[in-house]
Amino acid sequence: MCGIFGYIGNKKEAANIVLEGLKTLEYRGYDSWGIAVVNEKFNKAEISIKKKAGKIGNATIKELPQSNIALGHTRWATHGSATDINAHPHFDCSKNIAVIHNGIVENYLDLKSKLGEINHKYISETDTEVIVHLIEDNLKQFPFREAVFKTFKNLLGRNAIIALSANDKSLVVAKNGSPIVLGLGRSENYISSDAAALIPYTKKIIFLEDEQLAEITKDDIEIYSLLTGKQVKPKITILDWKLKEAQKGPYQHFLLKEIMEQDDGIKQAVSQNVDDINTLSRLIKRSFGSYFVGCGTAGHACRAASYIFSIIAKRHINFCVGSEFSYFEDFLTDKSLLIAVSQSGETADILEAVGAARRHKSKIVSLVNVIGSSLSRVSDLVIPLRVGPEKSVLSTKAFTGKLALFYLIAYTLAGKYEEGKKQIMSTGDALSLLLSDNKFIENIKMIADRIYQMQDIYIIGRGISYPIALEAAHKIKEASYIHAEGFAGGEPKHCEISLISEGTPCIVFVPNDETKTAIISNAMELKSRGGMIIGISPTKELVFDEWIEVPDMGITSSIIEVIPVQLLAYYLALRRGNDPDKPRNLAKSVTVK
């Protein structure tokens, strides 16, 4: 969830480097932010901190002194509300140590009780503050690195920290569950909770493993096992993302940029190592029970995949949302296959599901966008999404990339790899034409202007368009804060049709497939109760009050169908005065359970 960034090197503008790093990580949390630097003053080092509630925006840090070492944090609040006091970094009593933290210390009350409040003064409501006081206590007996080591060993839960001491010329970082990436430079090194934030500075990175601690100076990185205390040799990864992929360019928001990149994104998603796709196809054929697992948008892609594999490969694959999967683990055996899907590869619920599969010695395959992420490192086979960094909290190009990849795998399973790849590439070409059509964009803007004040939006689809309806509702809720719900087309007559009144917007997916006749009938049921029918279809139907035309791509039409609602969600957000990249209360990478 939270974003953490650190720098140590020869440059004296460490605070500015960290500030820019935090701005690129703000999608991980924007309740508050803060930066700490070591200030060399009159031959005595001390820590200076600036922290504020709210988004970083155009924040300035002119009051912070020049320094070559700094750390910073952008917060998604868990323990304690979004206030200046609860913002990170947090001091110890002497103000010689500062700590930033991503995660939840599940036993912080027990630790706080053992430390006692007589010898330590707490000023925030956070669980994080107990960490810095534990380090302070351990420094009475141990040097700084070992004090952090001893402290982190006592923390329960998924956590990552960076600790800074005024008297020590290093940053010490430790992690278990929450992500940490180290960037290697020349006489300078970096720490980030996301590899994308390191792209402007270096392509040489180290993904810190769980139960590891690193001591970082400007010239060296030493990594130790938290289990054995012994030094370990890190694996250096070369990041192949391009700087422009992580920048907005001419677009006002990352969300719009990422929507408009999807024509290329789905082509990149299927530009895979054929051997890996064939290997996954064999694993599915050999498995006795295969499972798709995802959360949020990834979960909707997995549900869509269950239809895709049924239609194309004539193969049944189970689907479960990540947070519920462990309750079904009794079905797992050493012949089971778990296909875990995640943009970030750091989603806590997905990693819990993988843990359940591991307990039963099941095979793990991941479809993930961030290579080197926690999910990719615990997988037997990794299929990268290849859609490039996704910076907006709302996932768009990763969703269509997942759909494209699922189509390719299903076609391969059916022995039609080349046919499948050709079909998906054609879909990418059609999407490119659609996104360059000003009439298409203006029509969506007009519909947004018409419905932005509505309190409810209902969305229906049948077959593979049902999970697309779920994802469409997901996007509208995330961006606009309008209540939206997606349904299988035949379901509202059992309950939700009672909610339809005069003028209620109802979005209906009407592809040219076997669902067309039935879904038009369902749309008529909503219209007869006063619903305003917004049709997304290759053909204009009499039941539509508004029509968003999309090309007919046959079996891969689901990739195209979702695009208009992504754009609608974006323009609804703008019309309602929301920040499309940073929806309230949400963060990009959900690393807590």
- Active-site annotation, residues: 2, 588
Strand-pair partners of 537: 549
- List of residues 6+ apart from 515 with CB closer than 8 A: 461, 462, 463, 465, 489
Nearest-angstrom CA–CA distance, 584 and 77: 12
Q: What Cα–Cα distance (Å) separates residue 423 from each residue in 417, 484, 491? A: 10, 32, 32
DSSP three-state, residue 479 = helix
Amino acid identity for residue 510 in this structure: V
**Closest Cα to residue 416, out of 577, 277, 306?**
277
Helix (H, G, I), strand (E, B) or coil at 50: strand
Render 248-290 in DSSP notation, one character per residue.
-TT-SSHHHHHHHTHHHHHHHHT---HHHHHHHHHHHHH-SSE
DSSP conformational letter for 67 = B
Question: Rounded to an integer, what distance in angstroms lies between the CA atom of residue 474 and that of residue 470?
Answer: 6
Give residue 67's identity as a one-letter amino acid code: S
Residues in the chain: 593
Q: How far is CA 134 from the centre of its chain?
A: 31
Cβ pair 322, 350 in contact under 8 A: yes
CA torsion angle for 537, 538, 540, 543 (degrees, to 10)? -30
- Angle (nearest 5°) at CA 550 between 544 and 551: 130
Annotate 420-460 with three-state secondary structure. Answer: HHHHHHHHHHHHHHHHCCHHHHHHHHHHHHHHCCCCEEEEE
DSSP letter for each residue of 87-144: SSPEE-TTS-EEEEEEE--TTHHHHHHHH-SSS----SS-STHHHHHHHHHHTTTS-H
| Pair of tokens at residue 107 | 């036993």
Q: For residues 99 and 105, give the distance between their C-alpha atoms in angstroms, rounded to a whole number.
A: 13
Please identify which residue in the block is written with the tokens 């920290």. Answer: 161
Q: Are 25 and 5 in contact (CB under 8 A)?
A: yes
Burial status of residue 354 (CB atoms within 10 A of its CB: 0-12, 13-18, 19 or more):
buried
Q: In what order do the strands lie in the sheet with 90-91?
A: 90-91, 97-103, 159-165, 171-176, 212-216, 221-225, 231-232
CA trace torsion 388, 464, 424, 540 (10° rounding): -110
Structure tokens, 136: 């302070």
